[in-house]
Structures are given as structure tokens and as C-alpha cells.
């Protein structure tokens, strides 16, 4: 596993950089704007800490760069690799379209199958399968870019995503505490 502290350091680095960029661009920001900027820079920093090796990071970056207002920030945080990363993330969009058509096809087939088997007894296994399927769908919606992943890769991505989220939360919490204490003084 990659050493977590290096991940945190990288994340902190990029995050601070992004935040400074944000604050330098606008002088006065509302609360929500600030929060958005913070979150955005944190997410992008986290994703870029992975250097687009994982799908979720690529999806995150592509989503972030879709919005024009964020593009500059994203580019800045990504740094020199931004171009290649963007190209990599664009491919995800195409994948999504293909997956959507596949899903439609599958649904139509499953409807036919369901009609055939509706007369049979509902087995416990099928219930379990349905549960699992539902939950995988929920998980797919949670993990960025999860829609275009197979079940197996989804689990791998979730693993990585959880690790990164943890690191992100840790760093943010410490920074928040530090600033809070600083302000108290």
C-alpha cells in the first residue's frame, strides 16, 4: 500500500495551493462559495494525489473540469500532468455511453426473463441477489465514476476511494482544528 503519510502530504500540498488560488482570484466570497471552493480543491487535490491511476480519480477530475469556472483551478492543482489526465478522463465519458446502451439491453432481456419465471417460486438466492444488486448500484452512485465499472473493479475502486477519503478527512480535520485554535488566540 502506498504510505498514507505521503498521500496526506501530497494532498495537503495541492489543497493549500488550490485554496490560495481560489482566494487570490476572488476577494469576497460568501460562505457557500467558500465551502464549495474548499471542498472542490480538496477533492481535486485528493484525486490528483492519485495521479489518475484510479478510475474514480479520473472521473472526479473530469467532472470537476466540466465546469468552466473550475477549470482553472483544476489545471493549477493538477499541474503539468493536467493535459494527459484530461485526456484520460475524457475517455470515461465515452465509456458511460456504451454502458448505458448495455444497460438498456440488459434490462429488456431481464424483463423477458422475469415474465417467464414469474410463475416459479421466489428463491432466497434471488432475493439475496437482488439485494446485492441494489446495493452495488447505490455504491456505484457513491463512488465517482462508478457507473462504468464492473463489480470487481468497483470493489477495488471503493477500497482506494475509502483510503483517500480517510486521508482527506484527517488532513481537513487537523487543519480545521489548527485554524480554530489560531483564531481563538
- Interface residues toward other proteins, by CB under 8 A: 1, 3-6, 8-9, 12-13, 16-17, 19-20, 22-24, 29, 31-32, 34-35, 37-39, 42-43, 128, 131-132, 135-136, 138-139, 142-143, 150-153, 155-156, 158-159, 161-163, 165-166, 168-185
CB of 68 to other proteins, least distance (A): 21
CB of 91 to other proteins, least distance (A): 15
Nearer to other proteins, 119 or 127 (CB): 127
CB of 44 to other proteins, least distance (A): 13
Nearer to other proteins, 12 or 119 (CB): 12
DSSP letter for each residue of the chain: ---HHHHHHHHHHHHHHHHHHHHHH-S---HHHHHHHHHHHHHHHHHHHTTT-SHHHHHHHHHHHHSHHHHHHHHHHHGGGHHHHHHHHHHHHHHHHHHHHHHHHHHHHHHHHHHHHTTSPPPHHHHHHHHHHHHHHHHHHHSTTGGG--HHHHHHHHHHHHHHHHHHHHHHHHHHHHHHHHHH-
Nearer to other proteins, 66 or 130 (CB): 130
Nearer to other proteins, 34 or 71 (CB): 34
Nearer to other proteins, 23 or 96 (CB): 23
Amino acid at each position: 500500500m502506498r504510505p498514507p503519510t505521503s498521500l496526506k502530504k501530497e494532498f495537503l500540498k495541492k489543497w493549500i495551493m488550490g485554496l490560495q488560488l481560489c482566494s487570490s482570484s476572488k476577494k469576497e466570497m460568501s460562505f457557500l462559495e467558500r465551502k464549495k471552493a474548499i471542498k472542490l480543491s480538496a477533492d481535486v487535490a485528493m484525486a490528483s494525489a492519485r495521479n489518475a491511476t484510479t478510475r474514480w480519480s479520473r472521473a472526479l477530475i473530469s467532472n470537476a473540469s466540466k465546469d468552466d469556472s473550475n477549470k482553472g483551478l483544476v489545471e493549477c492543482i493538477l499541474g503539468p500532468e493536467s493535459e494527459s489526465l484530461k485526456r484520460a478522463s475524457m475517455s470515461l465519458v465515452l465509456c458511460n455511453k456504451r454502458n448505458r446502451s448495455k444497460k438498456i439491453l440488459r434490462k429488456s432481456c431481464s424483463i423477458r426473463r422475469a415474465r417467464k419465471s414469474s410463475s416459479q417460486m421466489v428463491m432466497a438466492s434471488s432475493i439475496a441477489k437482488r439485494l446485492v444488486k441494489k446495493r452495488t448500484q447505490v455504491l456505484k452512485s457513491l463512488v465517482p465514476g462508478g457507473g462504468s465499472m464492473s463489480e470487481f473493479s468497483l470493489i477495488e475502486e471503493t477500497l482506494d476511494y475509502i483510503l483517500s477519503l480517510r486521508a482527506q478527512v484527517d488532513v481537513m480535520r487537523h487543519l480545521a482544528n489548527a485554524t480554530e485554535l489560531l483564531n481563538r488566540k
